[in-house]
Each structure stands twice: as C-alpha cells, then as structure tokens.
Structure 1
Amino acid sequence: MAGQPQSNDPVQLPETTPASSVVPRAASLGVWALFLLSLVTLAVSVRGGYEWHLSGYVVVDGLTKVMWVVVTFFSGIVHSYSRRYMAGDSRIDQFYGRIFAFTLIVMAMTAADHVVLFTVAWLGMGLTMASLIGHVHGWDQAQAAGALARRYFLASSGLLGGSLALLAWTTGTASISSILSQAESLPSEVAGLAIGGLFLAAILQSALFPFQNWLLSSMTAPTPASALMHAGFVNAGGILLTRFAPLFAGDTVAMSLLVIGGASSALLGQALLLVQTDIKRKLGASTVAQMGFMILQCGLGFFAAAITHLILHGFYKAYLFLSSGTTVEQTAPKAASQDSLGLLEVIASLGAAVGGGAVFVAITGKGAELDAGLFLVLVVVLTTLHAARNILKRSKLPTPFKLVGISLIVVPIAVYGIIFETISSLLSTVPMTHAPTELTVVHFAIGALFVVSYLAVEFGWHRSSKRLYVALLNLSQPAPETVLTTKEDYNDA
C-alpha cells in the first residue's frame, strides 16, 4: 500500500501530509475544468461540424475530441478519489503533479500532428506512468517495478520514434496527416518497416503477449494510479493504430498480424485470469485480454469499434480498481461447480445468444455482409451465450423466471450497439476508422479457436490438465524482483 514501507530493511516513511497543501484540490479542480472544456469542444463541433488545425502541428478532429472527454473524465474520477485514498502520504503533492501531468500529456498526444510532438508525448506518457508505478520510494519492489516498466516504455518510444522518422524522411514531411495522405504511394519496404515498428510500439504499451510482464508487475502502484493505467494508459495502443489506420488498412498482411496478435492476447489473458486468486492480478490479466480484443478489432478494420471498446473497458476497469478494496476476502479452495443446465435452459441460452447477435447486426449493420463484421458478430454471440448461461446457473429464481430474465440480455447488446454507432459517427472525419477487411483463412482459424476456447472453459476441459495450469500460472507471474517473497519483508511487527 502507498505510504507503507515494504522492503527487506525496515524504512520509516513520513506519513503526515502538510495541512497547508493545496495541490490535490487545485489539481482536481483543474482536471474537472479540462473535462468541461473538452465536453463543450465536442458539443460545439458536433453541432457546427467544426474541426480545428494548427497546420502540421496539431489537429483537433473527432478522435481528439472524443479522447479528450474520456481521458479528462477518468482522470477527474482518479483525482477526486485520490484526495482521500492518498491522504497521509508524504509525497501526495508529487503524486498529484504526476497524474495531472499525465492527463495533459495524453491530451497532447491525441492532438499531435507532428512526428516529434507525437513521439515526445508518447515517451512522456510512459515515463510519467513508470514514476507512478514506483511511487513509494521506500519500497524496493515498487522501484523495481517502475524500472521494469520504464525499460518497456523506452523500447516502445524508440520503436515509435524510429518508425515515424523513417516515414518523415521518406515522404519529406513531418506532418502525420500529410504522411498518411501518401500511405498508398510508400515503397513496400518502408511501409513494412514502419508498420512493424508501430505494431510493436502499440502492443508493448498495451501489454499484449509476450510483453504482458510489465503490466502484471505493476501492482506496486497506488490503486488510483492502477485505475488510471488500466483505464487509460494501456489503451494508447488502440489510439496509435486508429491514428495510423490508413497505413495499416491497405496491407492485408499487416491487418492479419493485428488479428493474430490481438486474438492470441485475448485468449491468453482470459486463460491467465482463470488461475489467478489475487484481485489486482486478476484485473491485470483481464486487461491483457481486453487489450488483445481491442487490437483484434483494429485488425478486422473496425477502428471505431476499438475506440468504443477502450472507452467502455476504461469505465469498467476504473470502477473495478477503485472498488477492489471492498472485494478482498479470505477464502478456502472449493470444488468447482458442476451444475448443468436442462434442455429447455440450453435452448433458451442459445436463443438469447442468437437474439443478441441479431440485435447487434440490426443496429450496427456489422455482419450483414461477408466481411470481417461476421467475426464481430461471433464474439457478440459467444459473449451473450456466456452471460446467459451464467445467469441460468447462478440465479436462485424458479426456472420460468430465469427464462424470462435472460430474454432481457439483449438490452445491453442494444446499448452497446447504439454507443458503437454514436462513436462511429463522431469519428466519421477520421480517415479509415471503418475499413472492414475481407474474410481470410486467418479469420476462420481464429474464429474456430475462439469457439473451441469458449467450449473448453464452459465445460471445464482446462481443469483436466495440471501441466496447463502450471504453465498458465508461470506465465501470469510478475517479475520476481517486484514481489514480496518472504514473510519478514512485510515488517508488520
């Protein structure tokens, strides 16, 4: 916990915050003012169709305005929550300085139209988050986690900077929008190198496999910083890919690479979640899975869907982190439930799943044609099926009431579809945020893998292999230097 020494050598940390400090209040008011300003900017642009540019340096388009509203809102929640959570921490002013600076840097990154500004903001974002992970100076493990994250973020920034420098040198312009306007005429070798660098930068920042270790090792961060990280920071990969969509969307190999990388992390993150007992590490594994699905959506050509996903995931994950303290409990292992459903319940859950998919298609139009939209519909169907079966298994209501209840499961699917369409309309001026790819053997293979994985979890097949359990447990472990490994390290006496 923040403010408490947890290293091999006892360290006495000051615990009293000067009563005269105005930084927390000022920073909180400042970030909420930014939220209101962002909201007004979005409303004015929607009403009047305005879009602001500072040619070659800044572009305030649909993506910028949406992300400004989202980032400042999440940051405002974290600022307000931290005033009580971090009370008593001797370095609370530094903490607030970092989270406020992080907010400004992310806002600059989403608006940057110059390769240097974009790269500097990307680097600053990473270094600020690394310092938050290592916030507690008297905790050796926190310092190790911060240093580990910093190495990952420096590598990501190096790949991004190198890719953008290559593109700028080839096109003769440092403006990102000008570079993207020439995407189709880039030499294949240059485009391939740039795409590879941007892809690696995105998955490093979003903690996709095999780079999930920094995220799983970052639990030394104060919980509000973890909320900001999981709700905002890791989503930067999706923002990067959406901004550079014209570069990726015209390359079938690149889009297939995004699909494979995203699907692998989505499945792996979900598998890692199954073997975790620690609450924050469960949330970390869940984030790996969700970021994988976000990148997968980019690979399908639905960049607006990826932005929608990162927004909804941000709301959900920020809530889970900030409320994680209320879910901590001591439990004993128990046998897994083997409750099975009757034939009528199975038919009802399948009907709900098909209905959810049909509602999604009707509202969004995705999946109505033979393209990558069918994959999105498959995911919606599997998600609805899983939710319906959970309701039927866990509810104590009589069967007739449960069957009526699951018919309402299409309501959240409809809400998701409406939000998806709203975000898509706000991003309509951003190039190629809707560029569905043609179905390939990769999509069919990944789709089959999703179905098999769903069945394996649903019927408990994964529990039959101790070797698989151990392998997943090992993959989900944080770096050893970031973990308290002996009882004496806690210094509770």
Structure 2
Amino acid sequence: MSGHSSSTTVGSLPDTTAESPFVPVALTWLVWSLFAASIAVLIVSVRFGVGWELPGLVAVDGLTVLMWVVVTFFSGIVHSYSRRYMAGSTHKTRFFLATFGFTTSVMALVAADHVALFGFLWVAMGLLMAELIGINEGWKQARAAAAVARKYFLASSALLGVALTALWWTTGATTVSGIGAATDTVGGPVWLIAAGALVLAAMIQSALIPFHGWLLSSMTAPTPASALMHAGFVNAGGILLARFAPVITVDSTLMLAVVALGAASAGGGKLLKSVQTDIKGKLGCSTVGQMGFMIMQAGLGFFGAAITHLVLHGFYKAYQFLSSGEQIEHATPSETTEHTIGRTTSAVGFLVALVTGLAGGVVFTVLTGKGANVDSGLLLTFFVVFTTLHAARSAIQQTSLPAPARYGAVPLVFFPAIVVYAVVYEGVSGLLTVSTATTELTLLHGVIAVGFVGIYVAIETGVHEQSQRLYVTLLNATQPSSDTLLTSKEEYNEY
C-alpha cells in the first residue's frame, strides 16, 4: 500500500555469555575441556606409542584417540554455535543434554572392547540422535522424522546384535579385539551372516542407498544437530567396518561387494544431489555420496583412507551446515537462467584437468606409495584424485574468474588439496592398528571405475537431464517421508 512502511521487529542478538542457562554454559566448557584432554592423550600416544585398556571391557588405541579428538572438536563447535542458535528456545537445555550425551556415547563407543558394551553404546548413540532430530515435541513433523530415524537406527542395532552374536558363537570371544585375533577360525555360513549383518548395519548408519531415507527425512533437526549428524554420526559406518576389519577382509568376494555397494551410493548420491533445490537437501544427498565413497575405500582394503575421508568430510560438512543460512539467495528464474547444473567442458579445460589429474596421481603415489602396483591401491589413487579434482573444479566454477584464469586456478586448488589428503592419510594410517588389505583388481573393479566416471561426466555435461524418466526417478528417490514435510508454516511453533 502506498505510503505504508514497515520496520523490523527483530531485536538484537542475545548475549550468550549473560543470558545462557547454567547447563549449556557448563556443558560447552566441559566438551572443550574434553577436546583439550583428547589432544594431550593423542600427543602422548604418538610420542610414546602407548595404549590403555581395562582388560575385557575397554581398549584405547590410535583410532580411539583420533576419534576422541575429532568428535570433541566437532561437538565443541556445535555446543558453542548452539548457545546463540538455541537462545530463547524452550528446548535449549534438553538439546544440550542430548548433544553432550551423544558426544560421550560416541567417545565411549570407539573405546569399547566388550561386544555387549559396544552394542549397547551403538543403540544409545542412535536413540540420542533420534532425540535431537525430534527435539521439538510440539512439531508433529519433527516427531515423525524422529520416528523414521529411530526405526532405521534400531534396525541397524538389531543387525549389529546379530553380527556380534554370530561372531561370539563362532569364535568364543567376548571382545572386539578377541574376535579380531580369532579370525583364522572364522568362516562358513555363520561368518557370512555376521559379515553381511555388519555391512548392512554400516550402510544404514551411514545412510547409503537404499537406506538414505532417514537422512533426507531428518531436516527437522536444528541446524547444529544436522551438522553433528552429517559430520559425526553417519561416520559410524566407517568406524564399524574398521573395528571389524579382520572379519570383513576374510573373503575377497565380500570386499568386492562392499566396493560395489559403496560405489553405487557414491554415484547415486551425486545424481540425487543434482535434482535438489534446497540447501540442506543438497547437503544431505552429498553426504549420501560421500559416505558411499568412504565405504568403497574400506572395501578396497584401505581402512586408513576410509577414516581419513570421514575426518576430512566431517570438517567440510560441519562448516557447510553451520554456514548454510548464508548460502540462501533470493532470485527469480528468467529465460537466461541456466537449467542444467553441468557445463560443457572445453577442449582446453579437459586437457588441463587431464594433465592436472595425472600429475596429482603421481604426487599421491609418491607420498603414500599407493598406486605404484596394479592392485586395489591403483584404484584408490584413481578415486581419490578423481573426486578431489572434481571438487577443485566445482569450487573454481562457482567463482567469477574468467575462463583463462580458471584453467590456472584448478591446479592451484587441486595440488594443495591432494597433498593434504595424502599427508593426513599417512598420519591416520600410522595411528591405526588395522593393516591394509590390498586386493587384486578384477573386471568388476574396472566396470565400477568406468561407471563412476560416466556418472560424473553425465552430470558435468548435463546429459542426465535429457531423460525425463530419470529426472522423475531421481526426484522421487530424494523425497523424505511424507509425514515429515512441512506443508504450512502454521504447523510449526517453536514455543
């Protein structure tokens, strides 16, 4: 209306140091203290090569200490961020208690050695994450999302229970370390049940296709809870496979199946992301793909690479979620708006990418020793270089640099990234007690590699958008549970 003006009614941001209740403040300081203590333990562990254990109950090794540092750091960031994000919420104290409880359950999980304790903490971790997803009890969509997630997590826990029971039955060992030491007695149908259940439990927890529904239905969770979920919770699948690596690596056929399942989710997540329009949906589909890549690395026998990937992905995804509000842009579609997310790659751009990738492969091989022989290490090098190069090119394409400058910027971004990846991988591998289980390459490995490249090329060039049937299939696959969708803003009331 002419002459009518409106003014903002939003007050100043709260002073988190003055207005925060005791519980959020205390837990934030406590989790940062745990981070500092974890750093000290890591230094001692690296410097003196020592471990700690309560025989038959808890065993603290390199993977434990590394995960303590990573988990407490992410949790500290989330706690600090949430003191302002949750300010004024009636669920603030409960949110902080659930977040801290989740943190301590993960810390205990990676240290647990007794199979019963490990299974109990796995269940607790899932239930606490479901609590965070549905933290707003007055929002029916949040309750529905929590119910969906809880069903998946309980299914994962049941599968883990089957696996642990089968392994105890066949080995007589009641500890994770004992099971690993008795793998020479593992085999037959009981082992197959245990190994299959472990892989399925990891796939559900890491939201691999076709178990990604719970992740895409969890967008009702507060943004800091989503950051903790995507940066930490979904990584549990990789940790599970690393802990039970001696069981998984008994048979090369199973390892090949794990590679295929991981590759399907890695490529599928990329395709699902291509039809998403909202920020959190894109990030969710990206996580599906990245977790597939992590599981694929485990299937290749490089558990150190899988742990490296989950750590680096955790840093990246935590930042992406906590800064997701800044990525929202208000724009009106026009005739000049690009429809396809892909861009036609010029001959010069392709040549630059090819030369950069080959040089990057040499760098990764020199730094890690992987890729020098014709085995699964060569495939690992290929996948790491390919995905890192793709990420570098995508980052450059989002800038306003002219085309000639982009060609030069790609190697400038790519080479530091591949060096960081290789250095972190070497450091992580040095902490792990799990040995690399290199396997011979097969025809299926080659098919997976070709299919992997084909999906990325199709998306890059926009070829995948030419099929309406494929588009509809992908769009349907990205839909969350209908009960979790907010159809009217009146249905949501934080207070």
Percent identity at matched positions?
55
Cα distance in 1 between the residues matched to 2:21 and 2:235: 32
The answer (yes or no) to whether the contact 1:31–1:100 under 8 Å persists in 2 is yes
Kindly indicate whether residue 369 of structure 2 is the aligned counterpart of residue 365 of structure 1.
Answer: yes
Cα distance in 2 between the residues matched to 1:163 and 1:410: 42
Corresponding residue to 2:338 among 323, 335, 340:
335
SS at match of 1:111: coil
Cα distance in 2 between the residues matched to 1:198 and 1:339: 40
The answer (yes or no) to whether the contact 1:134–1:143 under 8 Å persists in 2 is yes
The answer (yes or no) to whether the contact 2:127–2:150 under 8 Å persists in 1 is yes
1:258-297 residue CA offsets vs partner (Å, 9 max, x unmatched): 1111111111111110000111111110000001000000
- Partner residue, 2:9: none
1:116-171 residue CA offsets vs partner (Å, 9 max, x unmatched): 00000000000000011000011000000001111111111111112101211222
- Partner residue, 2:8: none
Cα deviation, residue 341, structure 1: 4.9
Cα distance in 2 between the residues matched to 1:237 and 1:392: 31
- Partner residue, 2:226: 226
Q: Output aligned runs, 1:27-42, within 5 Å.
A: 27-42=27-42
Corresponding residue to 1:356 among 356, 360, 371:
360
Q: What is the TM-score normalised by the length of structure 1?
A: 0.92
How many aligned residue pairs are there?
Answer: 474
The answer (yes or no) to whether the contact 2:397–2:406 under 8 Å persists in 1 is no
The answer (yes or no) to whether the contact 1:226–1:321 under 8 Å persists in 2 is yes
Cα deviation, residue 365, structure 1: 1.1
The answer (yes or no) to whether the contact 1:350–1:385 under 8 Å persists in 2 is no
Unaligned regions of 5+ residues in structure 1, if any? 1-14
- Partner residue, 1:82: 82
Cα distance in 1 between the residues matched to 2:254 and 2:423: 29
The answer (yes or no) to whether the contact 2:20–2:87 under 8 Å persists in 1 is no
Cα distance in 2 between the residues matched to 1:410 and 1:461: 29
Corresponding residue to 2:462 among 454, 460, 479:
460
Kindly indicate whether residue 288 of structure 2 is the aligned counterpart of residue 284 of structure 1.
Answer: no
- Partner residue, 2:254: 254
Cα deviation, residue 177, structure 1: 0.7
1:434-464 residue CA offsets vs partner (Å, 9 max, x unmatched): 2121111221110110121122112211010
Structure 1 residues 244 and 327: CA distance shift in structure 2, 3 A: same
Cα distance in 1 between the residues matched to 2:480 and 2:146: 13
Corresponding residue to 1:411 among 416, 425, 435:
416
Cα deviation, residue 250, structure 1: 2.0
Cα deviation, residue 55, structure 1: 1.1
Coordinate RMSD, CA, aligned? 2.1
- Partner residue, 1:313: 313
SS at match of 2:331: coil
Q: Output aligned runs, 1:26-425, within 5 Å.
A: 26-333=26-333, 334-336=337-339, 340-387=344-391, 389-390=393-394, 396-397=400-401, 401-408=405-412, 409-425=414-430
**436-445 or 151-160, which deviates more:** 436-445
The answer (yes or no) to whether the contact 1:152–1:204 under 8 Å persists in 2 is yes
1:273-330 residue CA offsets vs partner (Å, 9 max, x unmatched): 0000111111110000001000000000000100000000000000011111111222
1:354-376 residue CA offsets vs partner (Å, 9 max, x unmatched): 11111111111111111111112
Unaligned regions of 5+ residues in structure 2, if any? 1-13
The answer (yes or no) to whether the contact 2:376–2:440 under 8 Å persists in 1 is yes
Q: What is the TM-score normalised by the length of structure 2?
A: 0.91
Corresponding residue to 1:431 among 431, 434, 445:
434
1:411-442 residue CA offsets vs partner (Å, 9 max, x unmatched): 21111111111111111xx133x212111122
1:324-351 residue CA offsets vs partner (Å, 9 max, x unmatched): 1111222334223686454333322221
The answer (yes or no) to whether the contact 2:170–2:191 under 8 Å persists in 1 is no
